[in-house]
């Protein structure tokens, strides 16, 4: 399985239904409280495999991963409040974000990250982005299944 299996179609749908300059998919590892990038529309700036461990009480993690609610950051200030790499995000022409949790049977599998220019996103964008999570369930299930096999073998 390659890191793009199934995710490129999610990116295409995101471009058509919401609009994006930068699109990434993060897989949630419940055991380690880590998000790992498993897909990126900009693999040079945001390569797959990048991982960050987060405290579960962090506001963004609590909202998107724990409470399974989307996040709208409509401007650069909102992006900077959540993402340490906001300068890199801005250098790609992005100043707004929509994050959508990918949930399967009550379990958070990961997060879709849609980023575009400041002012590009509104609550309507969030409404358009939420259904995209359904498209990412199977690819994220496969990713998690592969990872579980790796953990069991080591």
Q: What is the pLDDT of residues 31-65, one digit of tens each?
A: 999 999 999 999 999 999 988 888 888 999 999 99
Provide the pLDDT for residue 2.
Answer: 44
Provide the pLDDT for residue 151.
Answer: 47
Token digits of residue 17: 């239904």
**For each of the chain's 154 residues, which pLDDT tens digit applies?**
344 568 999 999 999 999 999 999 999 999 999 999 999 999 999 999 988 888 888 999 999 999 999 999 999 999 999 999 999 999 999 999 999 999 999 999 999 999 999 999 999 999 999 999 999 999 999 999 987 655 444 3
C-beta of residue 115 within 8 angstroms of C-beta of residue 94: yes
The tens digit of pLDDT for each residue in 116-125 reads 999 999 999 9
Q: Which domain holds residue 75?
A: 7-149
Residue burial 109-131, b: 16+ Cβ < 10 Å; e: rest: bbbbbbbbebebbeeebbebbbe
Question: Helices (DSSP H) in 26-131: which residue ranges?
Answer: 59-61, 76-82, 86-91, 123-129
**The CATH number of the domain where 128 resides is what?**
3.30.450.40
Instruction: Rounding to the nearest 10 degrees, give the CA dihedral for residues 7, 21, 97, 87.
Output: 120
Is 2 among the domain residues? no
CA 103 to the chain's CA centroid:
12
Query: pTM of the full predicted structure?
Result: 0.92
Domain count, the chain: 1
The rounded distance, in Å, linking the Cα atoms of 11 and 22 is 9
3-state secondary structure (DSSP) of residue 149: helix
Is 1 among the domain residues? no
Is 136 among the domain residues? yes
Is 154 among the domain residues? no
3-state secondary structure (DSSP) of residue 26: strand
């Amino acid at each position: 399985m390659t890191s793009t299996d199934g995710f490129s179609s999610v990116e295409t749908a995101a471009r058509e239904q919401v609009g994006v300059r930068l699109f990434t998919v993060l897989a949630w590892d419940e055991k380690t409280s880590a998000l790992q990038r498993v897909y990126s529309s900009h693999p040079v700036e945001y390569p797959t495999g990048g991982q960050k461990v987060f405290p579960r009480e962090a506001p963004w993690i609590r909202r998107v991963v724990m409470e399974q609610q989307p996040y709208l950051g409509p401007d650069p200030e909102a992006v900077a409040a959540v993402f340490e790499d906001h300068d890199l995000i801005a250098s790609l022409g992005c100043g707004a974000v929509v994050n959508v949790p990918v949930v399967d049977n009550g379990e958070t599998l990961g997060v879709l990250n849609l980023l575009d220019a400041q002012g590009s996103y509104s609550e309507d964008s969030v409404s358009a982005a939420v259904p995209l999570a359904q498209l990412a369930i199977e690819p994220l299930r496969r990713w998690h299944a592969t990872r579980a096999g790796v953990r069991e073998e080591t």
